[in-house]
């Protein structure tokens, strides 16, 4: 039986940050911890906005916090490929000039989102892959780390479970993402992941693909997705949700329709978060759980 599609939303006002800690099936007793991790990250992002930083700075900061939290499938603690190694995917985009940066199949760095940000700032190319991405990172001063610094015991256990064919959904949850609106009306989005557990070497998911995992356009909305990456890519879910908002839908309705479409059209599962230019936020999932948090000037909310 498939899970019901759950969605939620609210009003951030002039500025705010929303993060997710991945659509999936986290054990019920652990969900509150994931929501707490999301809240810490969303607060860190909001602090950037309070200090006058941009939406782009805020999503990078929030995503870094989630990458550094070993609970999540990104940065340290990311899931492992079929060879027991970490290969990260990440992307970031800003909604004013539609600048974007991304890395995929990147090995040996703790904060891929900041390397994606460096690609955005550099401006020459949007997406760097594999060894070329690592070379770009080193040239920008990022310090490589060994897999021993990135691989957690939980990730090893998840790989062992997957190798036995006992992975609940066939993919690991806990990808991370962030969307933000700043006081100048600028939107940004970021997504970072280790992908799916036991993935083939060279497999790239939706998270580094602009339009699938991440999208931001000040005239439409900011979106970060999570879930079955192959489905997200085939339906360009982040851009689809953004186009719903361009057409006038509020963020919650936009992501709900996109997640419904993902299920209805190809039977795929996942979740998404969004902010529309009017300052509404929304989230939707067709999985058993998706941890999330939202922070704004006068309040905060979180859940799973
Ligand atoms: N957990 C996830 O969200 C996985 C990610 N979307 C991927 O397929 O790479």
- The dihedrals phi and psi of 28, each to the nearest 5 degrees, come to -50, -40
Determine whether the annotation assigns residue 227 to a binding site. yes
Q: Is the CB of 289 under 6 A from ligand 1?
A: no
Q: What is the pTM of this model?
A: 0.98
Residue identified by tokens 């909305």 is 221
Instruction: Flag whether 1 is in a domain.
Output: no
CB distance 116 to 102 below 8 Å: yes
Tell me what ipTM this predicted complex has: 0.97
Q: Is the CB of 271 under 6 A from ligand 1?
A: no
Residue 175 annotated as catalytic: yes
Residue 73 Cα: closest atom of ligand 1: 1
Instruction: Flag whether 212 is in a domain.
Output: yes
Q: Is the CB of 196 under 6 A from ligand 1?
A: yes
Q: Whose CA is closest to atom 1 on ligand 1?
A: 173
What angle (nearest 5°) sits at the alpha carbon of residue 95, between those of residues 13 and 173?
80
CA dihedral over 286, 80, 176, 120, signed as positive or negative: negative
Residue 172 Cα: closest atom of ligand 1: 1
* 169 pLDDT more than 90: no
Average pLDDT for 235-249: 98
Instruction: Flag whether 227 is in a domain.
Output: yes
- Bin 18: left if φ > 0, else alpha if -120 < ψ < 50, else beta: beta
Instruction: Flag whether 107 is in a domain.
Output: yes
Rounded distance between C-alpha atoms, residue 277 and residue 14, angstroms = 9
Rounded distance between C-alpha atoms, residue 268 and residue 235, angstroms = 10
pLDDT band for 148, please (50, 70, 90 cuts): very high
Residue 226 Cα: closest atom of ligand 1: 3
CATH assignment of the domain containing 281: 3.60.20.30
What's residue 278's pLDDT?
Answer: 98
Q: Is the CB of 227 under 6 A from ligand 1?
A: yes
Instruction: Name the domain count of the chain.
Output: 1
Residue 174 Cα: closest atom of ligand 1: 1
Instruction: Give the domain extent around 135.
Output: 6-303
Average pLDDT for 111-138: 98
Residue identified by tokens 């897999």 is 147
What's residue 173's pLDDT?
Answer: 82
Instruction: Flag whether 67 is in a domain.
Output: yes
Instruction: Flag whether 56 is in a domain.
Output: yes
Q: Is the CB of 229 under 6 A from ligand 1?
A: yes
* 116 pLDDT more than 60: yes
Determine whether the annotation assigns residue 203 to a binding site. yes
Determine whether the annotation assigns residue 226 to a binding site. yes
Determine whether the annotation assigns residue 206 to a binding site. yes
Average pLDDT for 98-120: 99
Q: From the CA of 231, how far away is ligand 1's center (Å)?
A: 10
Q: Is the CB of 214 under 6 A from ligand 1?
A: no
Catalytic pick among 76, 175, 225, 287: 175
Q: Is the CB of 286 under 6 A from ligand 1?
A: no
Q: What is the pLDDT of residues 14-72, one digit of tens each?
A: 999 999 999 999 999 999 999 999 999 999 999 999 999 999 999 999 999 999 999 99
Instruction: Flag whether 71 is in a domain.
Output: yes
Counting ligand 1 atoms within 8 A of each CB, the residue from 19, 77, 178, 195 with the most, and so the one to mutate, is 195
Rounded distance between C-alpha atoms, residue 209 and residue 229, angstroms = 10
Rounded distance between C-alpha atoms, residue 154 and residue 149, angstroms = 13
Q: From the CA of 51, how far away is ligand 1's center (Å)?
A: 32
Instruction: Flag whether 185 is in a domain.
Output: yes
pLDDT band for 1, please (50, 70, 90 cuts): low
Q: What is the mean pLDDT of the chain?
A: 96
Determine whether the annotation assigns residue 228 to a binding site. yes
């Amino acid at each position: 039986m498939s899970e019901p599609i759950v969605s939620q939303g609210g009003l951030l006002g002039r500025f705010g940050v929303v993060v997710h800690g991945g659509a999936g099936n986290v054990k019920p007793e652990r969900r509150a911890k994931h929501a707490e991790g999301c809240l810490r990250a969303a607060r860190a992002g909001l602090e950037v906005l309070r200090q006058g930083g941009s939406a782009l700075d805020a999503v990078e900061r929030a995503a870094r916090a989630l990458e550094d939290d070993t609970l999540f499938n990104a940065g340290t603690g990311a899931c492992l490929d079929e060879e027991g190694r970490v290969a990260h995917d990440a992307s970031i985009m800003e909604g004013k000039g539609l600048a974007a940066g991304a890395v995929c199949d990147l090995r040996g760095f703790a904060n891929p989102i900041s390397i994606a940000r460096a690609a955005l700032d550099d401006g020459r190319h949007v997406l760097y892959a594999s060894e070329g991405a690592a070379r770009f990172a080193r040239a920008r001063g990022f310090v490589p780390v060994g897999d021993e610094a990135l691989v957690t015991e939980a990730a090893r256990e998840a790989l062992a479970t997957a190798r036995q064919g006992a992975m609940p959904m066939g993919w690991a949850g806990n990808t991370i993402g962030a969307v933000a609106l700043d006081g100048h009306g600028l939107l940004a989005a970021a997504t970072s992941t280790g992908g799916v557990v036991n993935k083939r070497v060279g497999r790239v998911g939706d998270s580094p693909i602009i339009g699938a995992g991440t999208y931001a356009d000040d005239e439409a909305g900011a979106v970060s997705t999570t879930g079955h990456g192959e489905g997200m890519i085939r339906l360009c879910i982040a851009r689809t949700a953004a186009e719903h908002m361009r057409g006038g839908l509020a963020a919650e309705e936009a992501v709900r329709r996109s997640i419904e479409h993902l299920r209805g059209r190809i039977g795929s599962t996942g979740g998404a978060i969004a902010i529309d230019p009017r300052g509404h936020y929304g989230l939707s999932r067709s999985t058993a759980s998706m941890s999330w948090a939202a922070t704004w000037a006068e309040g905060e909310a979180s859940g799973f």
